[in-house]
Amino acid sequence: MSSHGIRDRVAIVGMGCTTFGEHWTRSADDLLIDAVGEAVTSAGITLDDIDAFWLGTQASGVSGLTLSRPLHLQYKPVTRLENMCATGSEALRNACYAVASGAYDVAMAVGVEKLKDSGMSGLSGTTMPGAGDDSRGEITAPANFSLLAPAYAAKYGLSEEELKDVITRIAWKNHVNGARNPRAQYRKEVPLERIRSAPIVAGMLGVFDCSGVSDGSAAAIVVRAEDAYKYTDRPIFVKALSFVAGPADGLLDPEYDFTTFPEVVASAQEAYRQAGVTDPRAEIALAEVHDCFTPTELVLMEDLGFSERGQAWKDVTSGAFDLDGSLPVNPDGGLKAFGHPIGASGLRMMFEAWLQLRGEAPPERTVRTLAEGRSLALTHNLGGGPGECVSFVSVVGNQLTD
């Protein structure tokens, strides 16, 4: 890949994040105002100090006016963008590269989505552009991602009962973490047996194997690294930003076996190259990943290099990715506990990295790996489905590289 990266050239100095949930009485404007307000307060600046804005949303606005109107911005550049479920991460990536280029001193990335009163359902079919030859059939997201589970079980010799236990534990873990997070949509632990016996949605996926639908917003303020300490005494520095789009030919490729996302593998390898990470399982303190469905998280553990091929199910079962495990994954509860307001999810993931790396996560869900000397966090966000997706991986840290 040709990216030179921007390691340690930009820093995040302020962030904000609303609660995610069923905000029936609040508009997208209200959510944007809250997230942006928290971000600028945390950085000790005003909106006038921000040079440019990138707004990520899929369905809550069609231009920069979606942000400039509620914030009463005075003739500032506002770029609205969308990249499927990775939209929030794409807003952050654009803001970071704009600052790194020298075009702006201070930039903001914002993500928002208002889904609960839009009529959109998490079980609705999504139509993606195909090859124009009617080779693509209509399929719901749960049905699409459910294909990962039996494929993984067959390839690595698990019975469907054993695989069901593994994905059940993933859902259980993320609900345990979400129960400790006041910003999460679902804040209750759910017993393993209740998860396992929940009504089936698609394949072997039950209700608790699927992320919910929610409203939410999150925002980040980005400056050059050399300016970071003007705004905060605890900035987090961007080590890597990797975004790839695949050829979308997996569903037509007889070799594709539904046990990997090649786009995730490519974006992770590029992110590690940029950040200088050689052993992610040992060097990363925590990871926020795109657990839209429980088998997605299982497969991602191998694609991101956290587990060897065919071994992630054992690591899940052993508790390696639990809050007190050797590499905590989704310590905030993930999409499973937050739901997935599309434009906001990527920035919500970064907000958790912000809290943890700054020592601001509450004690009951502060990861122990930070106390052991690790200083890096990873976020992963994908859009699309098995065999055809875009993938984003970031690595951030609370220290500059020597």
Question: Predicted confidence band at 3 (pLDDT cuts at 50, 70, 90)?
Answer: confident
Q: What is the pLDDT of residues 328-381, one digit of tens each?
A: 999 999 999 999 999 999 999 999 999 999 999 999 999 999 999 999 999 999
Q: How confident is the model at residue 81 (pLDDT cuts 50, 70, 90)?
A: very high
Between CA 332 and CA 381 the distance in angstroms is 15
What is the predicted pLDDT for the residue at 50?
98
Q: Are residues 20 and 183 in contact, defined by beta-carbon separation less than 8 angstroms? A: yes
Average pLDDT, the chain: 95
Q: Stretch 209-222: mean pLDDT, rounded?
A: 97
DSSP for 204-268?
Answer: TEEGGGB----BEEEEEEEEEGGGGGGT-SS-EEEEEEEEEE--S-GGG-TT--SS--HHHHHHH
Torsion of CA 61, 65, 67, 70, to 10 degrees: -110
pLDDT score for 401 = 87
Q: What are phi and psi of 240, to 5 degrees?
A: -160, 145
**Of the candidates 235, 171, 251, the residue with the CA atom closest to the CA atom of residue 204:** 171
The pLDDT, as a whole number, for residue 137 is: 60
What is the rounded distance in angstroms from the CA atom of residue 165 to the CA atom of residue 155? Answer: 17
pTM: 0.96
CA-closest candidate to residue 108, choices 179, 45, 159: 45
Active site residues: 85, 340
* 202/242 Cα distance (integer angstroms): 32
Categorize the per-residue pLDDT at 123 as very low, low, confident or very high, splitting at 50, 70 and 90.
Answer: very low
Are the beta carbons of 396 and 236 closer than 8 angstroms? yes
- Reply yes or no on whether the pLDDT at 261 is more than 80: yes
* Mean pLDDT, range 378-398, rounded to an integer: 97
pLDDT of residue 126: 47
Contact 57, 80 (CB under 8 A): yes
Distance of CA 45 to the CA centre of its chain: 26
pLDDT at 139 over 90: no
Question: Given 3-state DSSP classes, what are the helix, strand and coil percentages for the chain, each rounded to the nearest 5?
Answer: 40, 20, 40
Q: pLDDT tens, 283-318?
A: 999 999 999 999 999 999 999 999 999 999 999 999
Structure tokens at 125: 């079919």
pLDDT value at residue 105: 98
Residues 6+ apart with CB under 8 A from 49: 40, 106
Average pLDDT over residues 183-205: 97
Distance, in Å, from the CA atom of 211 to the CA atom of 153, rounded to the nearest integer, reads: 22
User: In this model, does residue 127 exceed pLDDT 90?
Assistant: no
Q: Which two tokens stand for residue 134?
A: 């009617």
pLDDT of residue 116: 86
Tokens found for residue 84: 């499927």
Tell me the pLDDT band of 125, cut-offs 50, 70 and 90.
very low
Question: What does the block give as tokens for 358?
Answer: 């700054």
Residue 369 has a pLDDT of 98
Report the pLDDT value the prediction gives residue 138, as an integer from 0 to 100.
74
Question: Which whole number is the average pLDDT over 228-251?
Answer: 96
Could you tell me the CA-to-CA distances from 257 to 93, 108, 253, 327 in Å, in that order? Answer: 31, 40, 9, 27
270-281 tens-digit pLDDT: 999 999 999 999
- pLDDT at site 120: 64
Answer yes or no: is pLDDT of 124 > 60.
no
Rounded distance between C-alpha atoms, residue 345 and residue 382, angstroms: 10
The answer to whether 237 and 396 are in contact (CB under 8 A) is yes
Mean pLDDT in residue range 128-135: 53
Nearest Cα neighbor of 141 from 330, 383, 390, 393 is 383
Please tell me the predicted confidence (pLDDT) of residue 118: 73
Residue 130: pLDDT over 60: no
Backbone phi and psi for residue 31, each to the nearest 5 degrees, phi listed first: -65, -40
